Structure 1
Amino acid sequence: MPSKAGVAGLTTALLLSKKPGYKVVIAAKHMPGDYDIEYASPWAGANYMPVSIGGTEAADWDKKTWMVLADLAANHPGAGIHFQDCEIHNRSQDVGTATATWFSGLLSPNPWFAKVVPNFRLLSKESLAPGIDSAIAFTSVCINTAIYLPWLVSQCLANGVIFKRAVFEHIIDATYNGFHPSGKVSLVVNCTGLMASMLGGVQDSTVTPARGQIVVVRNETNKMFNISGTDDGESEACYIMTRAAGGGTILGGSYQKGNWDGQPDPNLATRIMKRAVEMCPALTNGKGIEHLDIIRHGVGLRPVREGGNRIEKEKVNGVWVVHNYGAGGAGYQCSYGCAQAAVDLVDEAYGFISTL
């Protein structure tokens, strides 16, 4: 029973639903179509820019996820994912800032994913704008979350997954009140994201928000851009991506750890737009931010966890719980790898259950 209908919960439920013998219920406060500050997944860009460090579990999760996202982009247009060329620009002056630390794996001149993504290359120094010390480029994907999350729901429904609205005070609440058609819940998968910091039985104090603010515009670009930092503060960022299927272009952003504010900051929005137009003049044909056609402003709280994702199993009040949360800003690009790791733990737990 995945307990949140974000990208982690939906992906885990989808993989579980493909295995014979599992009857899956998603019981969640928020579902695709909702927009709430507690619910990070709809606000994401989202894309594939691996920030993981080579040789780690996180890199392995990212690698496994790329294979699925690339297949969806190539062969399943209904998922709302498309390929897009991506450039990552690096400034040495940003080393040690919050944004550069977040992007540390991505900014490596020889990153582990160079042999995973298509068309990886180093850009020549001569081709870079003043102040940019190095840059890489590769083919990535951009995900229209307004299409992709409902698509995941549709795939789950086709496999018999049941969806129910629910609010839980404690993780074990998911085993009560007849949520499961059998009348009994034998295992809970905890995909509560940021709310893992507050959920009884979990209350993970190492989970904190990293506030991201974006502007969504109708202007389009044929490239995705990211830079290691800005001159407007170490917790501010500059990234640009155009979503698939008319989803608009995301201009970001910020990485404000510990900030729970769900309201857009108009001054930050102005800085975001100015940085985007400077980085990608094609957005407005070389004109100013007044030529950006704004769809909306948004704020999302990335569920960051010290030490990275928690993918573990434990017993709580005698019930097996498998955790899959804490991906921060990497939730989409590690989604299938993390979900498979969680499913493997579910299989282990049921193996233990069957021998008791």
Structure 2
Amino acid sequence: MSQKHIIVIGAGPIGLSSALLLLNSGHSVTIIARDFPAPFETIDPISQINYTAPWAGAHNRFIPPSPSVPHTQLEHSLSLITYNHMKSLYESPHRKEAGITFLPGIEYLEAPSAEYLSLSKPNNPILNQLYQLCGYKILSPEYFPDTKIKWGCKYESYCLNPMVYLSFLLRRFFYLGGKLLKRELRCPEEVFSLNLGTDIVVNASGTNFGLDPAVFITRGQTVLVKESCPVTITRQNKDGTYSFSVPRGYQGGTIIGGTREVNNWSMEADLEVRKKLLKGFVEMYPDILGENGKKELTVLRDIVGRRPTRNGGPRIEGEKIEGKGFIMHAYGFGGRGFELSWGVAEMVRDGVEGWLRGKEKGKL
């Protein structure tokens, strides 16, 4: 199979991971993006509100798949691939420069779905799989913080300092010979008119430029505090709201969240929401306030981001553009871009190379 010049649109976790895998497969790769990773001290969250990756609460949660919802089964498989990749990275000499830590992950649910409850049944294959992978275990009620909690679990999770991690991926990509082009596009097909010598595009744009009616934005508001937390905790409340804490290692503080507001385009942080988020976090993990419980959290920044979400799950598939070339789509991951990234990157690589093999055989 001949090696080709491939354009990747987007410099979030999906775009960067896909670009690296394609580069490592011997292809020439250029990333085109409007926004690239940078130190958080230099970024204005409002000006980059659509580039949410640097501000993400980037950690791993295993969401049990539903037999009746195909995309949840795929996402579970992708999360396993990504977890193993992150584990290998953590065990390598690059863990610090990658901004990755492994630490206990705890989840509390007030109204667990049937998929979560099924994990408590004897010999559940998903539970056995996760136990072998990360020591996943169901918590007994004595470990619940209050009587509202009906189900809980604990396992070894990873947390990322996303600005460190994304910059690490970008540096590796550039060091290995990848090229960068800072440009704002209007649609994936625009790449074919840029005279870059390619007929293959990876569309990791997040939203697909508003061209997919199934894509919508989910506004999320979080708070970055200075204090570090030795555990990542998620609580799902009965009313559909949730609280989470995601430590960002290497002096990155802790992200506290969060909100999920469908099609809310507001750019400004709500200070009342901030108070509610901090209160929920302290109730979930009171040890953060010190031995006497009187320490005050140091707020570094309020963050608002727009997560690109898609009805029916993310789109990961190839599309032949008659007379122009091939687009491998990989977008619409909502808040799960980091935890699915390396599994998606493998699908992107396989999709691109499958197209190339078919083209060489004269079938495309």
TM-score, normalised by the number of residues in structure 1 = 0.88
Map of 1:303 onto structure 2: 308
Check conservation: 1:63, 1:116, Cα contact below 8 A: no
After TM superposition, the structure 1 = structure 2 runs for residues 1-356 of structure 1, keeping only pairs within 5 Å, are 1-20=7-26, 22-33=27-38, 35=45, 36-51=48-63, 53=65, 56-75=73-92, 76-77=94-95, 78-92=97-111, 109-110=119-120, 111-112=126-127, 114-130=130-146, 131-178=148-195, 180=196, 184-194=197-207, 196-198=208-210, 203-229=211-237, 234=240, 236-285=241-290, 291-318=296-323, 319-356=325-362
Does the CA-based 8 Å contact 1:227-1:237 persist in structure 2? yes
Q: Relative to structure 1, is the Cα distance of residues 52 and 350 closer, same or farther in structure 2, using a 3 angstrom cutoff?
A: farther
Name the Cα RMSD after superposition.
2.1
> What amino acid does structure 2 have at the position aligned with 1:322?
M
Contact kept, 8 Å, 2:55 with 2:163, in 1: the verdict is: no
Please list every run of 5 or more consecutive structure 1 residues that lacks an aligned counterpart in the other structure. Answer: 96-103
Q: Once the 2 structures are TM-superposed, how far is the Cα of residue 108 of structure 1 from its aligned partner? A: 5.8
In structure 2, C-alpha distance between the alignment counterparts of 1:270 and 1:263, rounded to whole Å: 15
Deviations 1:249-285 (A, max 9, x none): 1110011122222221111111000000111111112
Kindly state the Cα deviation for residue 50 of structure 1 after the two structures are TM-superposed. 2.3
Task: Output the amino acid matched with 2:85.
Answer: V
CA drift of 1:5 comes to 0.6
Task: Name the CA distance, whole Å, in 1 between partners of 2:189 and 2:49.
Answer: 24
Provide the rounded CA distance (Å) in 2 between the counterparts of 1:336 and 1:310: 15
Alpha-carbon spacing, 1:289–1:65, altered in 2? closer, same or farther (3 Å):
farther
Give secondary structure in 1 for the equivalent of 2:28: coil
Q: CA deviation at 1:115?
A: 3.1
Cα distance in 1 between the residues matched to 2:30 and 2:328: 14
SS of 1:246 mapped into structure 2: coil
CA spacing shift, 1:190–1:265, aligned 2, 3 Å: same
Per-residue CA shift, 1:76-119, capped at 9, x if unaligned?
22211000101100112x76xxxxxxxx8667644555235422
Partner Cα distance (2:150, 2:136) in 1 = 18
Query: 1:99 maps to which residue?
Result: none
Once residues 132 and 257 of structure 2 are traced to their aligned partners in structure 1, the CA distance between those partners, rounded to angstroms, is: 26
The answer on whether the counterparts of 1:2 and 1:188 sit within 8 Å (CA) in structure 2 is yes
The letter for the 2-side match of 1:189 is V
* In 1, Cα distance between equivalents of 2:23 and 2:105: 33
User: Contact between 1:277 and 1:283, CA under 8 Å: does it hold in 2?
Assistant: yes
Distance in 2 between residues matched to 1:141 and 1:107, nearest whole Å? 24
1:273-322 deviations in whole A, cap 9, x for unaligned? 00001111111126779701111110121111111111100112431000
- Partner letter of residue 305 of structure 2? G
Name 2:3's counterpart in structure 1.
none
Deviation at 1:353, TM superposition (A): 2.3
Aligned partners of 2:104 and 2:154 also within 8 Å: yes
Stretch moving more, 113-122 or 32-41: 113-122
Q: Structure 2 CA distance, aligned partners of 1:264 and 1:208?
A: 20
The letter for the 2-side match of 1:164 is L
The residue identity in structure 2 corresponding to 1:186 is D
Separation (CA, whole Å) in 2 of partners of 1:207 and 1:311? 13
Match for 1:224: what amino acid?
T
The residue number in structure 1 matching 2:123 is: none
Please state how far the C-alpha of 1:127 moved relative to its aligned partner.
2.2
- Residue identity in the other structure for 2:233: F
Instruction: State the Cα distance separating 1:148 from its structure 2 match.
Output: 0.3
The Cα shift of 1:245 comes to 0.9
Moved more, 271-280 or 165-174: 165-174
Aligned pair count? 334
* Aligned residue identity for 1:16: L
One-letter amino acid matched to 2:105:
C
Cα deviation for residue 220 of structure 1 reads 1.8
Shift of 1:177: 2.7
Residue aligned with 1:291, SS: coil
TM-score, with normalisation over the residues of structure 2? 0.86
Mapped to 1, the partners of 2:191 and 2:117 lie a distance apart of: 41
